[in-house]
Structure 1
């Protein structure tokens, strides 16, 4: 298996897999174990250390949007808070987004119905802070194709990244190069103040 193969399998098989319970499902195992193993292997040649997790959902319910994420433990160990690098699979089409993202659940807890607006506002500031990555990670917005607090929160939490069609996932060299760029942006954001928003022009 490769990282691209794992991501493509998730994108292709997830809609049908959701018709069955996730317990014991082979695709759930790919998301929890196989895909994270491939991401760890890819990251080993780039930078580290990272905590890597994949989620097909919890308990007896599939996630609306499955994800595969890399966390810098000095920043966060969870997708609920801080910021992290994540692959998100949209519900309505066969594609994958690579996103440098803000923690969604923490924003929902802090801002309630205003979480989306707060995340988008901070995302605008953070994109400006990472302006030197704009050409290499040009996606300023992503669409996940389903309603709900978490999917809509993931959309709002996106800072910058890339989108792939299924054919793109066959180019492993490109995926690894793009991942390295994502890691560099992650490191740059950490060095430039993380999610701290200063009340000064230019930040």
Structure 2
């Protein structure tokens, strides 16, 4: 199995898999272990450390939007807070988004109904901070095709990234190249202040 093949299986099989319970389902295993394993292999040439996790949902429910994430443990070890890289699988089209994203659940807890507006405003400021990556990671917005607090939060939390259709997932070299670029953007954001707002010129 390769990274592209693992991602493609999730894209193609997830809609039908959701008709069955996730417990013991082979696709749930691919999301939790198979695809993260391929992603860890793709990250080997890039100096770490990285924590990689995949989630098909919790308990007896599939997630509306499954994900495979890469965390820098010095920033966060959870998709709920901080910022991280994540592959998100839209519900409405055969594609996958690679996203540099902000933690959604923490924003919802802190800002309540205003969380999406806060995340979009923050994302715009962070994109400006990473303007040198805009050409290589051109997607300023993503759509996930699912209504709900978390899917809509994921959309709002996006900073920049790439989208792949099924054909693009066959280009393993491109996937690895884009992953390396996304990791570079992740590290650049860390070096440039992370989620902290920029200091004013007259600030200490």
TM-score by length of 2: 0.97
What are structure 1's unaligned runs of at least 5 residues? none
> For residues 3-23 of structure 1, what are the alpha-carbon distances to aligned partners after superposition, in whole Å with 9 as ceiling and x for unaligned?
000000000000000000000
Give, in whole Å, the separation in 2 of the partners of 1:89 and 1:170.
16
Structure 2 residue aligned with 1:44: 44
**What is the number of residues matched between the two proteins?**
201
Give, in whole Å, the separation in 1 of the partners of 2:30 and 2:94.
17
Give, in whole Å, the separation in 1 of the partners of 2:39 and 2:76.
18
CA contact (8 A) 1:3 1:38 kept: yes
Q: What are the equivalent positions in structure 2 for 1:38-77 lying under 5 Å apart?
A: 38-77=38-77
1:199 CA displacement: 4.9
- The alignment partner of 2:167 has SS state of helix
1:47 CA displacement: 2.5
Give, in whole Å, the separation in 1 of the partners of 2:9 and 2:25.
13
- The alignment partner of 1:68 has SS state of strand
What are structure 2's unaligned runs of at least 5 residues? none
Give, in whole Å, the separation in 2 of the partners of 1:187 and 1:199.
19
Give RMSD over aligned pairs: 0.7
Query: Deviating runs (4+, > 3 A) in structure 1?
Result: none
Structure 1 residue aligned with 2:30: 30
Q: What are the equivalent positions in structure 2 for 1:115-134 lying under 5 Å apart?
A: 115-134=115-134
